[in-house]
Every structure is written in C-alpha cells, then in structure tokens.
C-alpha cells in the first residue's frame, strides 16, 4: 500500500526537508516533490496532486504554510495536507484546521510519528483523540456552553473559541463556513456582551476562564 502513496514535502529548511524525504523514502512512499518555498510549493503540489503533502507551517514571507494549505486545497481538494510546526502550539493546530489540513505535527517528533501521520492522512483516518490536533478540534467544535460563556449564542461561542486560539477573521470565516462580514458581526456582538475592547482581551479572558 505504501508504494502507492505519493508524498510532496514543502519546507523552508533544507535539512528538515531532506530528513523528512529520507524517512518517507525509506518507508516506500513515492516522493512527488521537494519544495523549498511557498509559491513553488503551491504550484507543484496542485500540479502533481499527491496523496499527501507535508507543508511547513512556518514558511517565511507573506505566504505562510497555512496559506499554502488553503491554496492547495482550493486547487487540488483531494490532497491531504499535514502541517509541520516547530512545536505543538495550539494556535498552529487551530490554524491548520481552518486551512483544511488533516493534521498538524511537531517537528520535534520521531521518525515513527512522522510515518504514522503520513499513513493516517493517506488512509483518511482521524487523528487519535489524545493528540493535540484532535484535542483542539474537539474544543473548537464543542456546542455546549461553559458557565463563563453561557450568555453568548452558539455561534458567538464558536467565534470566541477561534478568536482565543489566535485565528484571523478570514480564518474564522473559513473554519466555520460563514462570510467575513458575518464573522465581524459576531465579534462586535460578543465584545459588546462581554464589555471588552478587543480580541486580545477576549483571548485572555477565554484562557483564564477555561473556555479554551
């Protein structure tokens, strides 16, 4: 089965990119591309349409890895994208979800974990419940109200949680499948209800109150 799994690796670090490719090749994956910058990665991945693409979440410049993921999903919806991150940062996990990635893994992980993530993505399997990507996803998808945010509507609570994880308005719109102006309206309403000035205050409040 592994022989049929094509993999593109897009990473700004030559050392990390080469290491990921070496590990993947040793497991029998077919390397469909080795990309060093964001713009070439988008074009090459869309053109080659691999089963899985490993994408650097920290690409430097105006087009970061999350934007790469969004554009690849727009041009080649069938590609399963795994974002790589310098850490298991929850903001990266949330942004990866909003961008359409199927997983976000720390670059400090083991070769075994990297291979497992590729195989899981290729098979269309959900990440195990205890992994950071799944934990953040469960929190973002929660429909219940905590005592602290019970006065907000369901949609306002969803927007609140995405705000708390550091997502932009555009990312929140993409994650929730709603328009940008609708997101702005929800933010305006929840700020008013919570008597807060800006999204930073909301994020701090959400963390302190255990909402995220």
Tell me the percentage of the chain whose pLDDT exceeds 70: 96
Q: Which two structure tokens, joined as six digits, stand for 194?
A: 């919570």
Indicate the SS3 state at residue 85.
strand
pLDDT at 159 over 80: yes
CB-based contacts of 74: which residues, under 8 Å, 6+ apart? Answer: none
pLDDT bracket for residue 208 (50, 70, 90): confident
Contact of 58 with 86, CB cutoff 8 Å: yes
C-alpha torsion sign, points 32, 33, 38, 43: negative
Range 2-127 classified under CATH 3.40.50.2300: yes
Domain ranges of the chain: 2-127, 142-208
Neighbours of 12 (CB within 10 A): 18
Please give the Cα distance from 156 to 203 (Å, whole number): 13
CA-CA-CA-CA dihedral for 10, 72, 122, 114, to nearest 10: 30
Range 142-208 classified under CATH 3.90.1200.10: no
pLDDT at 198 over 80: yes
Contact of 39 with 27, CB cutoff 8 Å: no
pLDDT at residue 152, as a whole number: 85
Average pLDDT over residues 170-185: 94
pLDDT at residue 1, as a whole number: 45
pLDDT at 188 over 80: yes
Residue 7's φ and ψ, nearest 5 degrees, are -135, 130
pLDDT in tens, 44-90: 999 999 999 999 999 988 899 999 999 999 999 999 999 999 877 89
Please give the Cα distance from 48 to 4 (Å, whole number): 14
pLDDT in tens, 9-49: 999 999 999 999 999 999 999 999 999 999 999 999 999 99
pLDDT at residue 89, as a whole number: 84
Quote the pTM value. 0.87
Angle (CA) 25 30 32, round 5°:
115
Average pLDDT over residues 93-98: 94
Q: Buried (b) or exposed (e) across 149-161, using 16+ Cβ within 10 A? A: beebeebbbbbbb
pLDDT bracket for residue 147 (50, 70, 90): low
Q: Which two structure tokens, joined as six digits, stand for 10?
A: 């897009």
pLDDT at 148 over 70: no
pLDDT at residue 3, as a whole number: 53
Average pLDDT over residues 112-119: 96
């Amino acid at each position: 089965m592994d022989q049929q799994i094509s993999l593109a690796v897009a990473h700004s670090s030559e050392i990390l990119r080469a290491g990921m490719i070496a590990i993947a090749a040793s497991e029998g994956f077919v390397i469909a591309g080795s990309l060093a910058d964001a713009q070439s990665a988008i074009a090459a991945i869309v053109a080659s349409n691999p089963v899985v693409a490993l994408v650097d979440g920290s690409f430097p410049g105006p087009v970061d890895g999350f934007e790469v993921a969004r554009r690849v999903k727009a041009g080649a919806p069938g590609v399963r994208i795994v974002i790589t991150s310098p850490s298991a940062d929850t903001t990266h996990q949330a942004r990866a979800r909003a961008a359409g990635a199927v997983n976000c893994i720390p670059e400090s992980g083991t070769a075994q974990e990297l291979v497992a993530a590729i195989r899981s993505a290729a098979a269309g399997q959900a990440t195990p419940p205890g992994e950071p990507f799944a934990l953040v996803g469960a929190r973002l998808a929660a429909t219940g109200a905590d005592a602290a945010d019970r006065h907000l509507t369901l949609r306002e609570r969803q927007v609140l949680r995405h705000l708390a994880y550091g997502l932009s308005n555009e990312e929140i719109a993409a994650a929730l499948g709603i328009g940008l102006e609708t997101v702005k309206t929800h933010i305006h309403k929840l700020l008013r209800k919570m008597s807060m000035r800006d999204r930073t205050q909301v994020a701090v409040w959400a963390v302190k109150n255990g909402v995220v």
